[in-house]
Structure formats: C-alpha cells, structure tokens
Amino acid sequence: MKYKSLLLLLLITVSLHAQETVRISHYLFPDFQPGVVLMKNGTRNNAKLNYNTASEEMVFDKNGELLAISDVLLPQIDTVFILNEKFIRVNNKFMKIIIDEPEFSLFVEHKCRLIPPGKPAAYGGTSQTSSTTSYSSIMADGKIYHLKLPDDFKVRPYNIFWISRNGKLQSFSNIGQLKKIYRDKKKVIGDYLKENDVEMTNEKSVEDTIVFMENNG
C-alpha cells in the first residue's frame, strides 16, 4: 500500500510538471531574471527583468508587482542586460543585439500575435473576428502583464530582424526581404540559400547567414 501511495505521488508530480512546462507565455524568458538597466549617465539599476513580446515593453518585478519601464525613462536608457543578452533601443523599440561589429550590426525584435478565443459561429465553428472585446479587455485589465494569459488565448511568437550596414538600417522577416538587402551579392546569397535552410525562427541560423554574407562576395 505504501508503494502504491508513493507511485501515485510520483505520477501526480510528473503530471503537474508536464502541465507547467506547456504553459503558454508571451514573455521572452520563462521567468523574470536578474538584470541591469544601464542609464546613459552611467547609473546602473539592478532589477528582475523580462521582455513582454505582446505589449513590446521591458517589464520589471517590483516585490511581486509587474510594471513596465515608464516612457519618461526610456530615452535615458543606454542598455538593458538580462542574463547574457543585451538590449538597446532602436527606432524607439527594444531590440536584442545579435552582432555588433564596426562594419555591420544585427538586431532582433521579438514580437507575438495574441489570438483571442473565437466565439461560436454557424455550423459549429468559431469566429475570431468577433473576439475584439475579449482582446481589448485583456489589455485593459492588465492581464497582458501576467506571466500566463488565460488558457483560451493563443500566443504566436515571431521575429523581425534589423541589420545596419553601409550606413543604412533595414528590416527583414522573410527570405525575400533578406535577398533584397543583399541584392548587391545576388549570386552569393542565391548559392548560400541553395545549400542552407535558413529559418527565420532560428536566431543562430540568421546570424550565420549574415556573417557569411558580410564576409563573402
């Protein structure tokens, strides 16, 4: 009987852990992490930080209350450090630095689409377009800052990459846009794409592509 109780406890623990690992989050990091906000005047502020990809704000944990860095302070920020990652403000948005070289720089803007629950429609289907009220309420009620959204909301993360080269800042989120940026190296990028499967959801894949393109051709 004792062994059965122990087995049941283990099953419950595994079940709970499995439920936690599949929880949907609209934050970049699974948890708030120790970080530093470096101001342009050299002041360093330590805080527990995370990036909200839904509201596109840098958020800090103040004794259990989640607050976004105020608009007043944003222009005064130089760099935000979270774990081994660095974020700077580019075009008034927080972007993570992937490559920072004198000749070129690569940043990634982390974003997501929130898909609210659909309302019942004809023939047993659902209508996403009729859920505007639900989406508005989650923003207005402050739920957007919670680590976990209601179970009936879906989160679709995606990336927009920004590259600074030849004194010009350009964005891309698909292969077509990337090829336009390197139109001056049409054959080089064409050959590279034939031999390599570049995934826009994989930062390392994009980084390797940019490094190759900048050093060849």
**Pairing verdict, β 44-52 and 154-165:** unpaired
The C-alpha R_g of the chain, in whole angstroms, comes to 22
170, 181 in Cβ contact below 8 A?
Answer: yes
Predicted TM-score (pTM) of the model is 0.79
- pLDDT score at 134: 61
pLDDT digits (tens, 9 = 90+) for 64-110: 899 999 999 999 999 999 999 999 999 899 999 999 999 999 999 99
Q: How far apart are CA 111 and CA 160, in angstroms?
A: 8
Note the pLDDT tens digit of each residue in 1-42: 444 443 333 332 333 333 333 344 799 999 999 999 999 999
Nearest to 52 by CA among 88, 86, 26: 26
CB within 8 Å of 124: residues ≥ 6 apart = none
d(CA 203, CA 201): 6
In the three-class reduction of DSSP (H, G, I as helix; E, B as strand; rest coil), residue 118 is classed as coil
Judged on CB neighbours under 10 Å (0-12, 13-18, 19+), 156 is exposed
Angle among Cα 20, 26, 32 to the nearest 5 degrees reads 70
What whole-number distance in Å separates Cα of residue 188 and Cα of residue 213? 7
Q: Closest Cα to residue 153, out of 112, 190, 194? A: 112
In the predicted model, is pLDDT for residue 186 greater than 80? yes
Which tokens sit at 85?
A: 């990652």
Query: What confidence tier does 144 reach under pLDDT thresholds 50, 70, 90?
Result: confident
- What is the DSSP pairing of strand 77-82 with strand 104-115? unpaired
- For residue 148, the one-letter residue type is K
Structure tokens at 9: 């406890």
The predicted structure's pLDDT at residue 14: 34
| 151 Cα distance to chain centroid | 20
- Rounded to an integer, what distance in angstroms lies between the CA atom of residue 37 and that of residue 51? 13
State how far the alpha carbon of 115 is from the alpha carbons of 19, 132, 152, in Å.
Answer: 21, 10, 9
